[in-house]
Chains A and B, each alone.
Chain A
Amino acid sequence: MATAHTATHSASAHDHHDDHEHHDNFITKYIFTTDHKMIGKQFLVTGIFWAIIGGLLSIIFRLQLGFPDMELYWLKPILGGWIDDAGKLDPNFYLALVTMHGTIMVFFVLTAGLSGTFSNFLIPLQIGARDMASGFMNMLSYWFFFLSGVIMFISLFIETGPASGGWVVYPPLSALEQAMPGSGLGMTLWLVAMTFFIASSLLGGINYITTVINLRTKGMSFSRLPLTIWAFFLTAVIGLLSFPVLFSAALLLVFDRSFGTSFYLSDIYIGGEALPNTGGSPVLYQHLFWFLGHPEVYIVLLPALGITSEIISVNSRKPIFGYKAMIISMLGITILSFIVWAHHMFVSGMNPFLGSIFMFLTLIIAIPSAVKVFNYLTTLWRGNLIFTPGMLFSIGLVSFFISGGLTGIFLGNSAIDIQLHDTYFVVAHFHLVMGSASFFGLMAGVYHWFPKMFGRMMDPRLGYIHFWLTFIGVYMVFFPMHYIGIAGFPRRYYSWTNFEFSNMYTDLNMFVSVAAIITFGAQLIFLFNFFYSMYRGRVASLNPWRSNTLEWTTPLHPQHGNWPGEIPTVYRWPYDYSKPGASEDFIPQTVPLSATPESNLPHEQELVKLEKAIIADEEEVLVANESKES
């Protein structure tokens, strides 16, 4: 934790440099860079790498679930000893696959890959800043994440296998080496990797908040911020408050594992022998973990919702419906996310009265969520819709947010949760509302801001194919899971064909697995499109989506510092699309109100006078300065 502090101290002042002639060599430009745009791309490419790994792991365990009798000899070259002599997947490795899939997707892909990419890339560009508050801390944030990834990657290849206690790593399973092979070295590496990940998230979060508050350009008030920035800002606030708690939980777990303390362990017998630990409480870990774990859901989701707000507004050619309602509902979600954690623990032996309170608080979250959905739909309503791939993915997000959100109301009920807890119903719920929705937000963002990142367009036709295959595929994968979940089919079971209550679901499981493989295959289209377009794509125009926000006023390939001259001043909110009276259907934020008398609303006409006075004042100063220089 001390690192963050020294970093603050030693970082050189990068705030106001007007010198754009940076002569970077390969290492300072592409590797140890302090440019927020390159760091964003680093997060993106690393996130894509992890998404492939995480996806492949899920395909392997889907093979086991969908085709329990399949012989997997052909996987032996990759998995080696994890495929036994009969060609079966090792049950312990199955648990490791599930655990690693969860950890990788939640933290490495949808936290670092989504928030890391777009917060870094968009915050300075959309608020009109040269770079982040501290470029050095930002670089450190990426490299801590990278190091965390390296450690997690190594843990996949060790003999006892990676951590296997589920991505929540509940003790005592995770605390005792004797419990399962994955709780040995694999679990230690998991904890070390997560420590670096927490440090990375905090360094990033501190930077995002500082930048949004301190480095906005002239005129960029909070009420003129694009909703993307609001979302990234609130995400960073949530991360800043919740990741330290995960650190506490992990710290006590480390003490239990390696020093013999009893924070989470009590009265445990292994092989008839009592362990010395007494007085610990495993529920304590669950409280600490879910105090991060639930806000984490919104850390993953809010950036995707922010990206969607922006893209839907741009491609509907309409102002976002209910800008303030959007901000208030995001604030509401931020606050509520911290007081609902125990709805993950309804069946953990917690006091049922406490369960009722958490049920009540949980159901309240439906209100801001519904406000957001309503606003998305009303923005789309009678808009001049342009179906770019980014727009399609945004609409896909709204669809998942609705269908996955509805099942959240079921699961939030402490009584219904007794039946549904730890079944595939839960798996279906969070994969739709958190996993797929956030993934679609990530995809939408990549398609939409690719021209700004690489100066070229992605191929839209491949984008459409990618979208439809993924969209239909995701529903094919997760919709059947609701049915088997209601029937009581449990999560994390390696083998289910021997049980009376579950052995009739062979067909559905097979169907889900095939759909999962096709959906994963469809991502290869995206990968090709992404890397091909980076070098061979059509060169983008300066503002390909005819968007209002500041990032499109930069050159095609912005250098470190973003704008070659003065940072543009902002005169209006970012959603002036199809304004009555205006000649174009969009008015960028940099256009003064005085330049658009034909479309100004009465209260804006009032502001024109003040604006003119200020512009005149500034010109005076400018002229005075110039005459001084000459």
Chain B
Amino acid sequence: MEEKFAYVENAEQPIAMHPKKFALWLFIVTVVMIFASLTSAYIVRQSEGNWLEYDLPSIFWYTSGIIVLSSITLHWAYASAKKDDLASLRTGMIITSVLGSAFLIGQWYSWVALVDQDVFFVGNPAGSFLYVFTGLHALHLISGVIFLIIVLISTFRYQVHSKNLDTMEMCVTYWHFLGGLWLYLFMFLLLNH
């Protein structure tokens, strides 16, 4: 029996990962590459001088808090789904969607704050980069909120439960990734501006 097991291992049976979840991870890789290239471009450009110095909008601290909170509530929703606690699942999903939208509104106000200190999209690249980072991230976050709402709707159709978690898990992965991506961008900006 042991020998046979060794053979199976040797033959490398195809890994058991859900193909769509795997594809989501690959999609995440492409998003990582986009932001990796943009943040490297930021560093390369910054090192050449002629760089506008300005204060990061303080509202970023609040939106970062909101996005962390939303990840926690989503995790709570996911844990409830695993326990088939439908009421908590729905509450968790609703709170997460609301927090996600609140984050987007907060990011909008960060742009307002930037304009108030005369940092515009058009002008020194130091400011333009910030608009591109936040804007492109917000665009992905909108797709994340849409995904949250799709899952929320399916909870009302009783399609999310402990036996059917694939979509939910993909949504959770994507949302945590987007939250982490924002924290990376914020940290990057704190360190490099």
Contact = CB atoms under 8 A, between A and B. Distances in A.
Contact of A278 (B31, B124, B167): B124
B132 A133 contact: no
A11 B167 CA distance: 12
B170 interface: yes
A607 interface: yes
B122 A252 contact: no
Interface string B1-31: 0011001001111110101101110110111
Contacts of A206: 23, 26-27, 30
B165 interface: no
Contacts of A222: 12
A221 B128 contact: no
A291 B142 CA distance: 28
Given A137-B23, A213-B15, A278-B50, A5 B174 contact: yes
Interface in B26-81: 26-27, 29-31, 33-34, 37-38, 41, 44-45, 48, 50-52
B20 A245 contact: no
Interface residues of A, number: 60
Nearest to A7: B23
B20 A134 contact: yes
Given A259-B122, A261-B128, A134 B41 contact: no
A244 B34 contact: yes
Contact of B23 (A210, A216, A223, A287): A210
Nearest to A610: B7
Nearest to B29: A240
Nearest to A137: B23
Interface in A7-59: 8-9, 11, 15
Contacts of B17: 213-214
B186 interface: no
Contacts of B139: 1-2
Interface in A212-250: 213-216, 218-223, 240-245, 247-249
A255 B125 CA distance: 11
B100 to A, nearest CB: 14
B82 interface: no
A252 B121 CA distance: 12
A245 B31 CA distance: 10
Contacts of B125: 261-263, 279-280
Interface string B116-136: 000001111110110010001
Contacts of A242: 33
B24 A241 contact: no
Nearest to A276: B122
Contact of B30 (A240, A251, A610, A611): A240
Interface in A578-630: 607, 610-611, 613-614
Which label, helix, strand, loop or mixed, suits the secondary structure of the A interface?
Answer: helix
A352 interface: no
B33 A607 contact: no
B83 to A, nearest CB: 24
B143 interface: yes
Contacts of B123: 261-262
Contacts of A15: 19
Contacts of B150: 9
B140 interface: yes
A279 B124 contact: yes
Interface string A244-275: 11011101100100011111001000000000
B30 to A, nearest CB: 5
A219 B11 contact: yes
A210 B50 contact: no
A240 B23 CA distance: 11
Contacts of B22: 133, 210, 213-214
Contacts of A2: 139-140, 142-143, 146
23 contacts: A1-B30, A5-B147, A6-B146, A8-B24, A9-B167, A134-B20, A202-B27, A206-B26, A207-B23, A210-B19, A210-B26, A240-B33, A243-B30, A249-B37, A252-B38, A261-B125, A261-B128, A263-B41, A279-B51, A281-B45, A284-B41, A284-B45, A610-B7
Given A210-B26, A244-B34, 8 more contacts: A206-B26, A213-B15, A221-B12, A240-B33, A243-B30, A245-B34, A259-B121, A261-B122
The 9 closest A-B pairs by CB, nearest first: A2-B143, A244-B33, A221-B12, A133-B19, A610-B7, A245-B37, A248-B37, A244-B34, A260-B122
